[in-house]
Amino acid sequence: MNPTQILTGERALKAYVLLILLFLALPILIVVPLAFSNDVSLTFPPHGFSLRWFGNILARREFGSAFLNSAMIACISTAIAMVIGILSAIAFVRFQFPGRETLLLLFMTPLIFPAIVFGAAVALMLSPLGLLRSVWGLTLAHTVLIFPYILRTSLATLFEIDKSLHEAAYTLGANRWQTFRYVILPLLRPGLLAGATFSLIISFDEFTVSMFLVGPGLMTLPLEMYNYSEFSLDPTIAAISTVLLVITSIAILIIEKLVGLGKQFS
């Protein structure tokens, strides 16, 4: 290749990357200005400027309670999945036992299982237990959904911790618990925080499975937004989306600061 060819090649690549980025960012670029629109319906480009749609979020009680539900479910299911996830990860890394590979695969299935099938199955299972349309049923389902994410980040971080670090701690007089508390946990912390943040986002954002489990009196925010948009297509939805976008961005920035995002995808 001669230099001009390389140059045109580079230009083409740049244009291509720019196009992809634009395509990915387009929904965001559209939704944010819409949130500040003065129109009564979702039209683009927006006309005028107003904050009344943000006001509408607060005025409509159902959004507030759905937000609280979603936040609570996300926090509790993440907390449960963290405890189980860390303990399972330790078992997978430390011990060889029959069925280890199979179990690991099983734990990872929610990642690839079609959500719609999972949702229906969970609904069938929770119904006889009386956990349908219950916060606890939802929390349980979300715990199962996000467990693989926690397990995966815990495993990845644990594998990186050299076995000789445990042993060094032991020889220095630290028992198993002290070794976990002062050596392993601090080294796991960044990975766990990243896993936890992703889990919170995934749970908060979950739609398909939750759809089978919610009902009158129990709504999550994504479903409440969906219901609302069925009747009125005004910029309130855009306003909520903008709020969620800001929250998520802050969360991602925190992970990036703590561990580096790239590491979680490698």
Partner 1 sequence: MSAAADAAGVRLTGVKKWYGQVPAVRDVSLGIEPGEMVCLLGPSGCGKTTTLRMVAGLENPDAGEIRIGSTLVNGLAPWKRNLGMVFQNYALFPHMTVFENVAFGLNMRRLPAAEVRRQVDAAMAQVRLAAFGERRPSELSGGQRQRIALARAIVTKPSVLLLDEPLAALDKKLREQMQVEIKQLQRQVGVTTIFVTHDQEEALTLSDRIVVMDEGRIVQIGTPSEVYERPRSRFVSDFIGFTNSVSGRVNSIDGAFTRVTIASGQVVTVPSGAGIAAGDAVDLVIRPEKIVVDPTGLVDRSVIPGTLAHMVYTGAVTYYHVDIGGGAILIAMAPNPDLHDLPALGSPVALGFKPDNMLIFPRRAES
Listing DSSP states for 152-175 in one string gives HHHHHHHHHS-HHHHHHHHHTT--
Our CA angle for 61, 43, 48, nearest 5°, is 80
Closer residue to partner 1 in complex, CB, 32/161: 161
Residues 166-185 that bind partner 1 (CB under 8 A): 167-175, 178, 182-183
Residue from the set 186, 215, 227, 260 that interacts with partner 1 by CB under 8 A:
186
Cα(264)–Cα(199) distance, integer angstroms: 13
Q: Is 260 in the site for partner 1 (CB under 8 A)?
A: no
Q: Is 106 in the site for partner 1 (CB under 8 A)?
A: no
Write the interaction track for partner 1 spanning residues 41-80; mark x where CB under 8 A is met and - where it is not.
----------------------------------------
Closer residue to partner 1 in complex, CB, 164/266: 164
Closer residue to partner 1 in complex, CB, 9/186: 186
User: Which residue, among 229, 250, 231, 227, has the nearest Cα to 239 in the 3D structure?
Assistant: 229
Closer residue to partner 1 in complex, CB, 8/178: 178
Q: What is the smallest separation between the CB atom of 94 and partner 1, expressed in angstroms?
A: 14
Cα(36)–Cα(62) distance, integer angstroms: 21
Q: Is 164 in the site for partner 1 (CB under 8 A)?
A: yes
Considering CB under 8 A, how many residues would be counted as binding partner 1?
17
Residue from the set 90, 115, 156, 187 that interacts with partner 1 by CB under 8 A:
187
Residue from the set 68, 165, 246, 253 that interacts with partner 1 by CB under 8 A:
165
Cα(106)–Cα(151) distance, integer angstroms: 12
Peptide bond into 114 cis (omega under 30): no
Whole-Å CA distances, 220 to 31, 61, 121, 176, 239 = 21, 13, 19, 41, 17
- Give the type of residue at 199: S
Q: What is the smallest separation between the CB atom of 138 and partner 1, expressed in angstroms?
A: 37
User: Which residue, among 238, 253, 261, 248, has the nearest Cα to 27 in the 3D structure?
Assistant: 238
Closer residue to partner 1 in complex, CB, 43/175: 175
Q: Which residues bind partner 1 (CB under 8 A)?
A: 162, 164-165, 167-175, 178, 182-183, 186-187
